[in-house]
Amino acid sequence: MAKKQLMVPATWGVRSSFHSLIALLVAFLVIASIYVTQNSGVLIEDATKSKSSDDLSSRCNLFSGKWVFDNKSYPLYKEKECTFMSDQLACEKFGRKDLNYQNWRWQPHRCDLPRFNATVLLERLRNKRLMFVGDSLNRGQWVSMVCLVDSVIPTGLQSMHQYRNGSLHIFKAIEYNATIEFYWSPLLVESNSDDPVNHRVDDRTVRVQGIEKHARHWTDADILVFNSYLWWRRAQMTVLKVEMPRVYEMALKTWSDWLEVHINRTKTQMFFVSLSPTHQKALEWGGAEGQNCYNETEQIFTEGYRGQASCPEIMRAVEKTLDDLKKRGLNVQMINITQLSEHRKEGHPSVYRKQWEPLKEEQISNPSSYADCIHWCLPGVPDVWNELLYAHIINL
């Protein structure tokens, strides 16, 4: 039986591909959130019912807290000292002068986050594969994780290789026989955005029911960290008359069905990183019309602040999907980074990143026109996402 092909009309450039990916992801999340919403009150109780009654999330909600300025312990590593830093995220290298974005610690309201200890993590990963699967935001978190452990590995005892035309990156801590990998799959399911470098395709095609091509590369990992939002986040994205959240839901269904059949439950620990907020409309936090995160040096202190780009339906779709999986005996822990990252409008690369194409005159005169308000500088916000992930990994 031919798999259903969802066609999205063209005209999206690289930037729009990214947006479309976000749109796809959003849809996925939306769907999951809808299901989750219905059960949201139960999540924590469910955790206590699961076999580890000592489950982290039953003791304390790590995702509810506040940012505390802490320039003694943070950053957790130096940008220059990370061998595998990405030029997309190295804001200091590309001229950023205000560096306070590196100095914030996440403080949960009712407990403390365990201190990130790279040696402990590497011991946990001995003879194992930790794998991030998703889009460029997940790739940023992967780079952060590599930087976090790189500092404790002597030079020469680590390696980095690319496979499958750059779809798969493998960092290896040789003494530990441990790998930290990233697999590019921005919509989780198959699409013609699957080329990690050249996503500029005229006809966007998403195969919502196709995942095997990707999944066979990650099914056997010991720890899996998924995300998918950004490329789905295009409200107008209608595929075969199916609206966005629904398409996302369909993709999540494909993904969860795959997990149910193929994942070895005693071996593989799974996580889903919730949607990463963007800061592209300064008006939303009281800034000037037409501005974005460009020139922002302070976070948003309003408690519970939520930007309009963070689609609640997507959040619910993910929640619902994970809840559903739990009923089917599969535990995928959500790493809920959305709310805490909402506040960090100053944490994006903005104009401080490598420009792949020379800037045009009109861009230079209007820097916000080319500011990246989607990804995150490193060291920075994704390090905290990894501290949250770390807390869950070592908890078991």
Out of 52, 73, 177, 355, the residue judged to bind ligand NAG by CB under 6 A: 177
Positions in 188-247 near ligand NAG (CB under 6 A): none
**Contact flag: residue 71 with ligand NAG (CB under 6 A):** yes
- Out of 239, 315, 374, 388, point to the residue binding ligand NAG (CB under 6 A): 315
The strand pair at 168-173 and 178-184 is best described as antiparallel
Among 73, 165, 308, 355, binds ligand NAG (CB under 6 A): 165
Give percent helix, percent strand, percent coil of the chain, each to the nearest 5: 35, 15, 45
Q: How far is the CB of 384 from ligand NAG (least distance, A)?
A: 13
- Residue 63 engages ligand NAG in binding (rule: CB under 6 A): yes
| Segment holding 141, helix H or strand E | helix 136-150
The reply on whether position 164 binds ligand NAG by CB under 6 A is yes
Picking from 124, 116, 167, 168, the residue whose alpha carbon sits closest to that of residue 145 is: 116
The reply on whether position 96 binds ligand NAG by CB under 6 A is no
Residues between 104 and 143 that touch ligand NAG (CB under 6 A): 117, 119-120, 127-129
Other residues' Cβ atoms within 10 Å of the Cβ of residue 200: 13
* Interface with ligand NAG (CB under 6 A), residue from 266, 329, 362, 365: 266
Residue span binding ligand NAG (CB under 6 A) among the ranges 141-149, 231-239, 262-270, 354-362:
262-270
User: Could you say whether residue 339 binds ligand NAG (CB under 6 A)?
Assistant: yes
Give the pair of three-digit tokens for residue 348. 């994006």
Taking the CA of residue 37 as centre, how many other CA atoms within 13 Å lie in the half-sphere pointing to its CB?
A: 12
Concerning whether 372 is annotated as a catalytic residue, the answer is: yes
37 binds ligand NAG (CB under 6 A): no
Query: How far is Cα 286 from Cα 213, in angstroms, rounded to an integer?
Result: 45
Among 276, 375, 383, 392, the active-site one is 375
Q: Which of 136, 310, 341, 350 is catalytic?
A: 136
Which DSSP string corresponds to 334-347?
EE--HHHHHT-TT-
Q: Pick between residue 97 and residue 327 the one whose CB is nearest to ligand NAG.
A: 97
277, 310 in Cβ contact below 8 A?
Answer: yes
Answer yes or no: 53 catalytic.
no
Q: C-beta of 123: minimal distance to ligand NAG in Å?
A: 7
Of 52-60, 85-93, 231-239, 259-267, the window that binds ligand NAG (rule: CB under 6 A) is: 259-267
Return the amino acid letter for 259: L
58 binds ligand NAG (CB under 6 A): no
For residues 78 and 327, give the distance between their C-alpha atoms in angstroms, rounded to a whole number. 43
Query: How far apart (Å, rounded) are the C-alpha atoms in residues 105 and 71?
Result: 9
**Total residues in contact with ligand NAG, by rule CB under 6 A:** 24
The token pair that represents 159 in the structure block = 């390696």
> Phi and psi (nearest 5°) for 154?
-60, 145
Q: How far is the CB of 63 from ligand NAG (least distance, A)?
A: 4
Handedness of CA 18, 271, 37, 324 (dihedral sign): positive
Q: Select from 58-66, 182-190, 246-254, 375-383 the region that touches ligand NAG (CB under 6 A).
A: 58-66
Q: Which of 205, 148, 149, 206 is nearest to 176 (CA)?
A: 149
Burial 13-32 (b: 16+ CB within 10 A, else e): eeebbbbbbbbbbbbbbbbb
Q: Are 94 and 87 in contact (CB under 8 A)?
A: yes
Is 375 noted as a catalytic residue in this protein? yes
Of 192, 295, 363, 369, the one binding ligand NAG by CB under 6 A: 295
* Contacting positions for ligand NAG (CB under 6 A): 61, 63-64, 71, 117, 119-120, 127-129, 164-165, 177, 179, 264, 266-267, 295, 315, 319, 334, 336, 338-339
Active site residues: 136, 372, 375
